[in-house]
A and B are shown apart, each in its own frame.
Chain A
Amino acid sequence: METLLAFLTVFSHPQLLLLVGLGTFAGVYVGAIPGLSVTMAVSILISFTFSWDVYPAISLMIGIYMGGVYGGSRTAILLNIPGAPSAIATAMDGYPMAKRGEAGTAIGVTTVMSFIGGFIGIGVLALAAPFVSDFALKFQPRDYMLLAVLGILLVGSLSTGSLVKGIFAGALGIAIGAVGRDALTFTERFTFDLQIMEGGISFIAVMIGMFGVSEALMQLHHVDKTAVRQKISRIIPSMSTVRKHLPLSMQTSTIGVIIGALPGTGGDIAALMAYDHAKRVTKNPDRPFGEGAMEGLVAPETANNSAVGGAFIPMMTLGIPGDAVTAIMIGALFIHGLNPGPMLMVDNPDMFWFIVGALVTANCFMLFFGLTGIKLFTKIVEMPRSVLIPMIMLLSIVGAYAVNNSISDVYWMLGFGVFGYFMRHYGYPLGPVILGVILSRLLDDNWRRAIISEREDMGRFFEGLFSSPLSTVLLIAVVLIFVSQTPLWTRAKSILLRRSPR
Chain B
Amino acid sequence: MKRIILGAASALALSLATAHAQDYPSKEIQGIIQWGAGGSTDTVMRAVTPHAEEVLGGTVVMQNMTGAVGAIALNHVTNADADGYTLLMGAENPMLYKIMGLGDKDYSEFTPISILARGTPLLVANVDAPFNDYAEMIAYVKANPGEVRFGATGPGGLPSVVTAMINTVEGELDVIAVPYDGDGPALTALQGGAIDVMPAVLGAAIEGVRAGNMKPLAVFDVAENDKLPGVPAVSSFNAGYETYLPWGPFFGVFAPKGTPDDVVAKLSDAYAQGAANADFVELMDNRGFTLMGISGAEAEEFLSKWQQGTAWLLQDAGLTKSSPEEFGIARPGE
Contact = CB atoms under 8 A, between A and B. Distances in A.
A198 B72 CA distance: 9
Given A39-B37, A184-B154, A343-B207, A140 B193 contact: yes
Contacts of B211: 341-343, 346
A174 B177 CA distance: 26
Nearest to A199: B67
Contacts of A340: 207
Nearest to A454: B176
Contacts of B72: 198-199
Q: In the complex, which of the residues A46, A51, A180, A334 has the most CB atoms of chain B within 10 Å of its own CB atom?
A: A334
Interface size class of A (residues with CB under 8 A): 35 or more
B210 A341 contact: yes
Contact of A181 (B68, B195, B210, B213): B68
A137 B185 CA distance: 11
A58 B193 CA distance: 32
A452 B47 contact: no
A334 B48 CA distance: 13
Given A181-B68, A186-B154, A46 B207 contact: no
Contacts of B156: 186
B64 interface: yes
Interface in A129-186: 137-141, 180-181, 183-186
B181 interface: yes
Interface string B154-182: 11100000000000000000001111110
B38 A324 contact: yes
Interface string B38-53: 1100110011011000
Contact of B213 (A180, A183, A318): A318
Interface in B12-70: 36-39, 42-43, 46-47, 49-50, 62-69
Interface in A263-318: 263-264, 314, 318
A321 B189 CA distance: 13
B181 A334 contact: no
Nearest to A136: B192
A320 interface: yes
A119 B192 CA distance: 28
B279 interface: yes
Contact of B155 (A185, A200, A320): A185
Contacts of B155: 185-186
A50 interface: yes
A331 B43 contact: yes
Interface size class of B (residues with CB under 8 A): 35 or more
A327 B185 CA distance: 11
A339 B46 CA distance: 16
A328 B181 contact: no
A334 B287 contact: yes
B286 to A, nearest CB: 6
A43 B155 CA distance: 28
A445 interface: yes
A185 B178 CA distance: 11
Contact of B100 (A186, A198, A453): A186
Contacts of B282: 337
B200 to A, nearest CB: 13
B46 A335 contact: yes
Contacts of A335: 43, 46-47, 283
Nearest to A330: B38
Given A180-B68, A186-B102, A318-B213, A334 B180 contact: no
A468 to B, nearest CB: 10
Contacts of A405: 63, 65
A337 B208 contact: no
A328 B38 contact: yes
Contacts of B187: 320
14 contacts: A50-B46, A183-B181, A184-B180, A184-B181, A185-B154, A185-B179, A319-B207, A327-B37, A327-B38, A328-B38, A331-B43, A334-B283, A337-B279, A341-B207
Given A327-B184, A341-B210, A404-B66, 4 more contacts: A138-B192, A263-B188, A327-B37, A327-B39
Interface of B: 36-39, 42-43, 46-47, 49-50, 62-69, 71-72, 100, 102, 146, 149, 154-156, 176-181, 184-185, 187-189, 191-195, 206-208, 210-211, 213, 279, 282-283, 286-287
> Which 7 A-B residue pairings sit nearest by Cβ, starting from the closest?
A341-B207, A199-B67, A342-B211, A327-B38, A43-B37, A184-B179, A137-B192
